[in-house]
Amino acid sequence: MVEKTEKTGPQSFIPDFDMKKLLGDMKLPAMPDVEAVLAAHKRNLEALTEANRVALEGAQAVARRHMEILQETMSGLTETLKDFSTNQTPSSRAAKQAELLRKAYENAVANTKELGDLIQKSNAEAMSKLNTRFSEAMTEMKGLLDKK
């Protein structure tokens, strides 16, 4: 009678395979300081929250100013319609219309510039907060890597 002594698993096809020796010979990087990584992540989230708050406040300021502009425009339109209801000569009415168109155009350009400036300021402030945190995070990462 022949006895079977077959091995199963990695030992069956690589007879001198030693998993412990393989893992022992590997130079694995040291684990980072978990507390430091979590603290950095918390600061990242705080910076993102702050940037979002700044962006939201900026959007609210733009919406408020846009509403003010709309109200001013409607008040001006009401006054203009009252002025046109009076009897005027065709030439004076045409001159008045030309002047109103010029003022309306100038106001539209000024208002658009003002709203654009508000948006740009808000975006710049939010990005500044994110850029500052990014720089801090890179410094922290370098410090963690230097500890190894």
- Note the pLDDT tens digit of each residue in 76-128: 888 888 877 777 788 888 888 888 889 999 999 999 999 999 999 999 999 99
For residue 30, what is the DSSP state? P
Q: Amino acid identity of 115?
A: L
Instruction: Please list, in sequence order, all residues whose beta carbon lies within 8 angstroms of the beta carbon of residue 144, skipping any fewer than 6 positions away.
Output: 32, 33, 36, 37
> What residue segments make up the domains of the chain, in order of their start?
32-147
Q: Which residue has the tokens 């009415």?
A: 93
pTM: 0.64
**DSSP E strand stretches across 1-147:** none
Dihedral, 47, 49, 52, 54 alpha carbons, nearest 10: -70
